[in-house]
Amino acid sequence: MFAIGEASRQSGVGIETIRYYEREGIVPKPERASNNRRMYSANDIGRLRFLKKCRDLGFPLTDAKTLLILSEGGSEDCQSVKKLAELHTFNVRAKIDELKRLEAALIELTANCDTGNVSCPMLSKLRSV
Amino acid sequence: MFAIGEASRQSGVGIETIRYYEREGIVPKPERASNNRRMYSANDIGRLRFLKKCRDLGFPLTDAKTLLILSEGGSEDCQSVKKLAELHTFNVRAKIDELKRLEAALIELTANCDTGNVSCPMLSKLRSV
DNA sequence: ATAACTTCTGTAGCTACTACAGGATCAAGA
DNA sequence: TCTTGATCCTGTAGTAGCTACAGAAGTTAT
């Protein structure tokens, strides 16, 4: 059994974040030692590591929670997992497209910077109707 | 002079957002009519439109505020504008790269979905060290 | 014994809005 | 004139997912 600092080190999840996950019911409340300190089992730490990976993949926390539950329920509901992952991938692609649009717009907006204009061409464009 | 609803329609900035910008000092406090209602000049609405464009380009609100100030100060400080825009473009590109990484990881993670596995391959990967 | 570290609870801050609640005011039609 | 519906006001709380305290208490090392 490990104290929260050690659990944090082993899982890569910050201490405050671990407590936050507990408050939010993402992970079950851990045992407490006689001095009231949280004590984490290897299993608990595995859960945190799982969540960390989901978050690193960009899954929303609620999805991460769902995946964790699916992972622990014996049924291995592959269909639900697939659906979540596909929706998330779709959202990631949509964000990429949006950001590419932004990038192109920014390039165009700053195209005439530094060509010795009297007034700033970017500001003029932002001001124009 | 226009009421806030009309200013919202003409600028594309939501009513609540306009009041929020006022609270935050992003735009100056508008005049008030005798009935205490906010009244916006064409100039005020121009400011809101300017901010809307900056936000649509993904600039953080503080950057939008800065750009607005630069736009209204007579100096047309093109260098500062350029610096802001370049930094923002850099950040946008970084986000695109990060999301592409995520996308690739997600594709790999779900590669073996639906191939008749007994246990879910994605969950196994998330559980593995 | 003392210092430095860790943990505890509880609360506030971050970004940029958005969504109320509860009340006042206004414009237009019957 | 009365009523109905739209608009406006202030103030507060909620969103996502942490992060950063404050202030207290316990633990570990020298």
Cβ B67–A126 below 8 Å, yes or no? yes
B114 band by pLDDT with thresholds 50, 70 and 90: confident
Confidence of residue B115 (pLDDT cuts 50, 70, 90): low
Angle at A87 between CA A90 and CA A80, to 5 degrees: 155
Q: Tell me what pLDDT residue A75 has.
A: 74
Using a CB-CB cut-off of 8 Å, the residues of chain B touching A126 are 50, 53-54, 67, 71
- Burial of B93 by CB count in 10 Å (0-12 exposed, 13-18 middle, 19+ buried)? middle
pLDDT band for position B116 (cuts 50, 70, 90): low
pTM of the model: 0.90
In this structure, which amino acid lies at residue A67?
L
Helix %, strand %, coil % of chain A (to 5): 65, 5, 30
Stretch B65-70: mean pLDDT: 95
Judged by CB atoms closer than 8 Å, whether chains meet at B122 and A85 is answered as yes
* Other beta carbons less than 10 A from residue A5's beta carbon: 11
Runs of H (alpha helix) within B28-113: 42-56, 61-72, 78-109
pLDDT for res A51 = 97
Residue with smallest Cα–C1' gap to D27: A35
- Asked if residue A17 keeps its beta carbon closer than 7 A to nucleic acid strand D, the reply is yes
Any strand D atom closer than 7 Å to B70 CB: no
Q: Quick one: pLDDT band at residue B112, thresholds 50, 70, 90?
A: confident
| Ranges of residues in chain A whose predicted pLDDT is under 50 | none
The arithmetic mean of pLDDT across residues B79-103, rounded, is: 95
pLDDT at position B68 is 96
What integer pLDDT is reported at residue A67 of this predicted model? 95
- Of A111, A128, A122, the residue nearest B78 (C-alpha): A122
More confident residue, A117 or B3: B3
Question: Mean pLDDT throughout B62-67?
Answer: 96
* pLDDT value at residue B108: 92
Residues A67/A52, Cβ–Cβ less than 8 Å: no
